[in-house]
Chain A
């Protein structure tokens, strides 16, 4: 009775004191028409959980009771339970076309699922156990098969990723990184994503999240990014990006005019009441004449139109129309200073992995090439050859262009990890080729659709001089392995054992049976045997 009174008092106090100051939610939508007629849209929902403790002390994760109003409780429970200080998880589908679309708003555009987290070490549980719990918990939360991100797909790159927030001091953290390129994204992943938003899909920008249109996009990706900022608190960033194609959606009209109604099949009818800022940024095209309705509230410099939803009372349907009713495809201008292409050439056992880095600028660039291949792909590093613009630079490194920063060969079903620093001279193309071997794996290790092959994770290129995009991802590759016959286990056992038994029996007979003479000529009676001792 008394306990309850105190509890109730505490609750009352906690919630009476301006609860909205401890959590803050803001959302925005960025729209950018692309040069090939498509429309890049990025939804961003940011929840900041301000900690009540002072700035100098540790992350408040581990101290207070978990009572959230805006921050999703399920995610918060997972992060606290598994001591996660920073988490990045993306679920993407499609290949981001850097040449036509430029740099993405969020650099993690790897196909499939990609996840990395900084997990605190110590405290009774190993980091691997925490990672396992975290991946399984997230798989339940987001309805994805992240439970497959086990030690067969998890690595710890040493220099590839840097924390984007602050890591609480006083505890050592370990980075764990895993990818699952064959993961598909569908409505069952969007449903829990929307449930994590304070306003759900009932008001604000999230009203536009229509799965039937988003999953029809040429590229779509969902992201969950959590980081701790010492000055601000815990920041949760939920993002959804989609590259929509108004030209295709307009069917025969071939027009790249777009509006919320035409691309999302929805409009925004009311703002989210608890968002501190809720804006739509539309990048204005500079080449062709266009019109943008409704009239914009204010323009930021650099040609961006801003719609602030908080001071809107009526329904918002942004429409952009070009003067030319029909869109004419133009040759794509590739403005990327650094482009990457990766290929897998070869057969079922021996292959060559080749990566091509093109530098269009007049300065030398240094990039980090990160490869994480599954455990059945063996690298032969002594075959790493580099060519500049077609001229070979000589065989195995170290030579002037590459320096291997870290290499973890595949051991006992752990993936291969290669981090290689590549120097690209100005205005040239560097091609690196390394021979790989695809191992034959056991019957039980093949997936159910073994003939399809395995999806090999994309390579991550990170420019080390910090200008330009933070990461560039290549496409995933499909590696097919020699498959055994899956109908044969018992047959193989029988046949091999038969051969062994035949041989054993023959040798046994020869060694143990005694030799006797049998008279052959004249007497057919088998009883007439003459024994002759030999020894």
Chain B
């Protein structure tokens, strides 16, 4: 920690004059347009999101609803494996199954009979638990209207470039879902809660008559799927004899089994997944609603766009990188960043590359991102646009030929680094 901070200081000390000297020799057009064009690229691979969030809710209490907690935890493990960090996951568990006095295997939750994989593990963060999982808190999280004293780990700090996965499981019925056997959330409430501050939402529900819960959605860019149709029940998968209750639901079991075959680099699309829906395996008619998902189709959307923390990266020509004097060792990789050699992209027109080269000449931005204990410094050049799933940034420092500026972001409303770039270079 200390060495890192020291090297950071040294880095700042050394790079600034050198980089400023180098880039001052370049002229250039606006990098803002180049960035925008990257995101709104009309090619088939164009993806507009830069960070992923997941809201996983188990709304049932009591030991006999063990399977609902296992559902939510199974999804938690899958999205974590595929790259979404804990800081971007809001996990709500209405009861404690792992350390429940009735649990024969303490601190574990299993999702398959035979107890092969422990979903609880040793590294888990549950944000809302017990009596805190209420309809009010759920809606507050989704709409962002939380009280000032609510800590960051309990807030959904999404922005308009966030893809959000919302997964809910529990007992439900026709257009409602029960929370803790004591109150209900209706499909209208859910529809109203999806207001703004997202790029795309994938809403997945596993309850009885789940498809009715997404019937009232009206906001754009929402893809929804449910486990059973109106009038149908969703069934559990199997019991475990030693735990004594059902350990997973059929639909979620199906989903998790499918996700087992997906890794961070998988190119499988959502449509591939929906095509595999089979009522005889799931034991109910799972449904999909994609009429609101207009910007692109499910066939153009990767599974990892919602379930994973992967982002799109374009790697530029070598000489563009070398010109800045920054070599491999000084670049710090953060979690969830993968550089994809984008060979399927059509070749860039010369004018484009000139724009990029010109854009990188404009300036240099360093971004400070902070998680709970560590201080990480992300070094970024304009030509290398990296989408990442960092926790929102604390601040950024940018330098242009004319000046150097430093700005702090308010922790609750931090915008991602692209905004910082825009803000500074527009001035």
Contacts and interface: CB of A to CB of B under 8 A. Distances in A.
Contacts of A132: 149
A458 B194 CA distance: 43
Given A11-B5, A136-B149, A195 B372 contact: yes
B81 to A, nearest CB: 17
Contacts of A74: 372-373
Interface string B121-141: 111111101111000000000
B124 to A, nearest CB: 5
B99 A145 contact: no
A191 B6 contact: no
B396 to A, nearest CB: 13
A363 interface: no
A148 B129 CA distance: 11
Interface string B7-27: 001101100100000000000
Contact of B96 (A67, A184, A192): A184
A1 interface: yes
Contacts of A184: 96, 99-100, 130
A287 B187 CA distance: 67
Contacts of A297: none
B182 A140 contact: no
B354 interface: no
A139 interface: yes
B357 interface: no
Nearest to B370: A73
A143 interface: yes
Contacts of A133: 149
Contacts of B316: none
Interface stretch (A208-216, A329-337, A410-418): A208-216
B2 A187 contact: no
A12 B106 contact: no
Contacts of B183: 448
Contacts of A148: 131-132
Given A1-B16, A4-B16, A216-B107, A188 B125 contact: yes
A212 B1 contact: no
A11 B154 CA distance: 32
Nearest to A139: B151
A136 B150 contact: yes
Interface string A181-196: 0111111101110011
A214 B129 CA distance: 20
A69 interface: yes
B265 to A, nearest CB: 28
A211 B151 contact: no
Given A1-B16, A147-B132, A187-B120, A11 B125 contact: no
A191 B122 contact: yes
Contacts of A449: 61-62, 180-181
A475 interface: no
B75 to A, nearest CB: 16
B149 A448 contact: no
A137 B149 contact: yes
B22 to A, nearest CB: 16
B373 A195 contact: yes
Interface residues of B, number: 47
A8 interface: yes
Nearest to B11: A8
A8 B13 contact: yes
Interface in B386-422: 397, 404, 406
Q: Secondary structure at chain A's binding surface: helix, strand, loop or mixed?
A: helix
A93 B99 contact: yes
A486 interface: yes
A232 interface: no
A115 to B, nearest CB: 15
Contacts of A104: none
Contacts of B154: 139-140
Given A140-B154, A184-B99, A212-B108, A145 B180 contact: no
A1 to B, nearest CB: 5
A448 B180 contact: yes
Given A216-B106, A216-B107, A140 B96 contact: no
A144 B1 CA distance: 27
A15 interface: yes
B9 to A, nearest CB: 4
A191 B125 contact: yes
B99 A215 contact: yes
Given A186-B107, A187-B121, A143 B5 contact: no
A102 interface: no
B153 interface: yes
Interface string A50-93: 00000000000000000101001110000000000000000001
Interface string A98-139: 000000000000000000000000000000000011001101
A16 B7 CA distance: 11
Interface in B176-196: 180-183
B98 interface: yes
A145 B129 CA distance: 7
Contacts of A215: 98-99, 106-107
A447 interface: yes
A12 B126 CA distance: 38
B269 to A, nearest CB: 34
Nearest to A70: B1
A11 B118 CA distance: 45
B296 interface: no
B102 interface: no
Contact of B98 (A19, A69, A144, A187): A187
B145 interface: no
Contacts of B12: 4, 8
Interface in A442-470: 447-449
Nearest to B147: A136
B379 interface: no
Contact of B124 (A3, A183, A187, A447): A187
A186 B132 contact: no
A211 B123 CA distance: 10
A210 B121 CA distance: 10
Given A11-B9, A191-B124, A192-B125, A186 B373 contact: no
B129 A140 contact: no
B58 to A, nearest CB: 13
Contact of A187 (B122, B150, B153, B181): B122
B182 A486 contact: yes
A137 B150 CA distance: 7
B124 A188 contact: yes
B152 interface: yes
B126 A143 contact: yes
Interface in B81-127: 96, 98-100, 106-108, 118, 120-127
A469 B397 CA distance: 55
A185 to B, nearest CB: 7
A188 B91 CA distance: 11
Nearest to A67: B5
Nearest to B129: A145
Contacts of A188: 124-126, 129
Nearest to A11: B9
Nearest to B121: A187
A148 B16 CA distance: 48
Interface in B142-184: 147, 149-154, 180-183
A186 B96 contact: yes
A166 B163 CA distance: 50
Contacts of B2: 15, 19, 69
A186 B69 CA distance: 14
6 contacts: A5-B13, A140-B153, A182-B130, A186-B99, A196-B373, A214-B107
9 pairs of A and B residues whose beta carbons are closest in the complex: A140-B151, A186-B99, A448-B182, A448-B180, A215-B107, A136-B149, A188-B126, A216-B106, A140-B153
Given A93-B99, A195-B373, 19 more contacts: A1-B404, A5-B13, A12-B9, A12-B13, A67-B5, A69-B1, A133-B149, A136-B150, A140-B151, A140-B153, A141-B153, A184-B99, A184-B100, A185-B99, A187-B99, A188-B125, A195-B372, A215-B98, A449-B62
